[in-house]
Amino acid sequence: MELLKQRILKDGRISGTDILKVDMFLNHQIDIDLLNEMGKEFYRLFQSWDITKILTVEASGIAIACIAAQYFKVPVLFAKKCESRNLDSDVYQSKVYSFTKEKDYLIRVSKKYLLPSDRILIIDDFLANGRAALGLIDICEQAGAVPCGVGIAIEKGYQRGRKLIEEKGVKVEALAVIDSMDEHTGINFS
Ligand code: 5GP
């Protein structure tokens, strides 16, 4: 998606060797006009899949998922990362290794909101090694729901996330795929 690529080139910042910071428009301050265009594009890519629910993980996936959901006209369900007294005890859960925090954490979804009849679109801001998306696919499988696809804003195509998800038979679509990135040569898209 050209609009997103141009925005990454303008406002994205490379942090260390492997993290792209997009706090200016996606992960901290949020550009709603851009998210609207991304939502339309996710709808175009997945409209024929009879999606009944969008599933994401807190926190940065939520805004993207909510705006996309307006085009699909379906609810958003987000997996919680923190243990909370607000969350039912009857949950599906999966262990995820965090790319940015470099440690494992649990994601949880109440059994009440994920049904065997659900056809799920998973949405997230980044795809790196696929751990977050695979954790969400695992939760869908526990519920007997169908993980129809994974929609990603920014994929780092040189990492192995897409391969691992596609090996599970789940379709992956990314709006911007980064082929390489470093502080000297900048960001290159595929
Ligand atoms: P994965 O689970 O695919 O290894 O990593 C994806 C998750 O890690 C996303 O939910 C995202 O929050 C975070 N992440 C991975 N790479 C980046 C990155 O380059 N920049 C930012 N801001 N987050 C990232």
Nearest CA to ligand 1 atom 11: 126
Identify the pLDDT of residue 152. Answer: 98
**Best mutation site among 4, 11, 99 for ligand 1, i.e. most ligand atoms within 8 A of its Cβ?**
99
Identify the pLDDT of residue 10. Answer: 97
- 1 in ligand 1 pocket by Cβ < 6 Å? no
- 93 in ligand 1 pocket by Cβ < 6 Å? no
Residues 6+ apart with CB under 8 A from 105: 81, 95, 96, 98
Q: What is the percent of the chain where pLDDT is above 90? A: 89
Tokens of 35: 């998210």
Q: What is the DSSP letter of 145?
A: -
Tokens of 123: 């949405």
Identify the pLDDT of residue 86. Answer: 66
Residue 162: how many other CB atoms lie within 10 Å = 20
Identify the pLDDT of residue 16. Answer: 81
Nearest CA to ligand 1 atom 22: 21
Are residues 119 and 146 in contact, defined by beta-carbon separation less than 8 angstroms?
yes
| Ligand 1, atom nearest to 131 Cα | 2
Instruction: Please name the residue ranges forming H helices in the chain.
Output: 2-11, 32-46, 60-72, 131-143, 161-167
Identify the pLDDT of residue 84. Answer: 67
Are residues 178 and 3 in contact, defined by beta-carbon separation less than 8 angstroms?
no
| Ligand 1, atom nearest to 128 Cα | 3
Report d(CA 24, CA 110) in Å as an integer: 32
Identify the pLDDT of residue 183. Answer: 84
- 161 in ligand 1 pocket by Cβ < 6 Å? yes
Q: What is the dihedral of CA 123, 187, 98, 144, to 10 degrees?
A: 20
What's at 174, amino acid-wise?
A: A
Are residues 148 and 45 in contact, defined by beta-carbon separation less than 8 angstroms?
no
What is the value of pTM for the model shown?
Answer: 0.96
Identify the pLDDT of residue 87. Answer: 66
Alpha carbon of 127 to ligand 1 centroid (Å): 6
- 64 in ligand 1 pocket by Cβ < 6 Å? no
SS3 183: coil
* Ranges under pLDDT 50 in the chain: none
Alpha carbon of 104 to ligand 1 centroid (Å): 13
Report d(CA 39, CA 97) in Å as an integer: 27
